Structure 1
Amino acid sequence: MKNPPAYGVTSVDHALQLAVILQVEGPLTVSEAAERLGVARSTAHRLLSTLVYRDFAVQDEDRTYRVGPVLEIAAKTQSNAAAIRAAALGPLRALVDRLDETANVSIRTGRTVRFIASVECSRALRVGNREGMVFPAHEVTGGLVSLAALGDDELTALYSPATADGSEERPDLAKLRTELRAVRQSGVALNLERSERGLVAVGRGVTDSAGATVAAVSVSMPSVRHSPHRLKEVVMALTTAAEAISAALVDGVRAPSRS
């Protein structure tokens, strides 16, 4: 299980959290930043000023902060992430209330998956907040769900180009195709310590108004609390959450725009 580093510096962690929020959700004010981090407004202002100095953020005339040149390109590739996150937060909290395990929503970009929303459970032993974390798509449930929505030709094209230095760990495509067929049939992906030791996760797809898989909702738990007998309960709760998020996305598309 991935845990925060013992040597972590709080101010650095807060600055990185703000950078992720700006990249994924869009502009925010000093007050909103302070509320999200649970810090004083003066602290939030110093953090945002530092991000501006390093070109991770810029301040607009209305005194809100948005992504700067360093993050702008990446932010443009995830323009729908904020809408998905907004649609997901309510269902995620309901999912945590129902199962008392940490719940997440992730999106795929190429061969990687980024967690864009995370709600922790209240248990002492729990999977921590994963918001902003990035993993290889074939290693996590959200990635497997998203990859299962691709055709064989699309999957081949996705994994054909090699990285320049050859450092990227590439999956066995024959084995991955077999796994993805099982995900398509069941609609659920299972991660039994695949990405991290001591962690089990179950994921299900989130669809847009056209029925395309645009994200995945998942539940993560310590492996000591997982059992095959509990899987049915988890899948039922995930299905409810996925349907609620999908419905919220559709309602968002139908809602009249404000001018």
Structure 2
Amino acid sequence: MFFFLSKLIWFFVQPLGLLLLGLLLATAGFLYRSRRLARRLVMALTLAFAAICVLPVGDLMILPLENRFAKPRELPATMEGIIVLGGAEQNVLSGARGEPMLNGAGERLFAALDLARRFPEAQIVFSGGLGDPWNGIPPQSDIFRDVMLMAGVPEQRLLLEGQARNTDENVLLLKQMVQPQPGQNWVVVTSAYHMPRSMGLFAKAGWKVVPWPVDYRGLPPTLLPRADLVEQIDVLNIAMHEWIGLVAYWTTGRIDTPFPGP
């Protein structure tokens, strides 16, 4: 229930969802003769959209998330396993094209390959599902496996979990599968903006891991807007998703603090 409810709520509270909802309300106002309210709503939406386009709102929101956990200068001499959280894999597109496809978070896989080279004895553990075999949509774990094999990683080094639908399930299902022992060293790879929520879940599960943040999106705020408007809105979208996710996970008891830190 939490998974489906979270997806439904996010559809309406993401930036474009809020814009669509506002336009629908404004249209209803014009149709039902509440034109003054409708005009005010359209004006507010226009000003808000202009602010998003001009001001570094997304950067200001995402930088605290990305800077919360720094990449360690040194890693332990030995590593039991490299944990990679799903999110970089394009399920539907991979199924449609018949080959592994990645999105903008593909750096997670590149970082995993680098760590696998540095720790040749470490197991590479991945969690990510959302597959639909009836419609030819592979789980994220299948795409991850294909990329690793294409890069020359031996299949026996891979331990894959392909049922998780969100970060909470990533951590819980991985812990059940791996059963980590005290004294073992594990490193977790995910996008920097996603690291606070992930580390909060690992802490809640009693699993001590080393953060390895990658895939940074935020830029130091300036008075000049980004040249790419789509990128600017995308950064805001990601930041809002993470902040709302942190609040949702905290209020439902999935993490102990609203903003997990080192």
Find the structure with the greater CA-based Rg.
2
Same fold flag (TM > 0.5): no
**TM-score (structure 1 length as normaliser):** 0.25
**TM-score (structure 2 length as normaliser):** 0.25
Higher RCO, 1 vs 2 (CA within 8 Å, ≥6 residues apart): 2
Higher helix fraction (1 or 2): 2
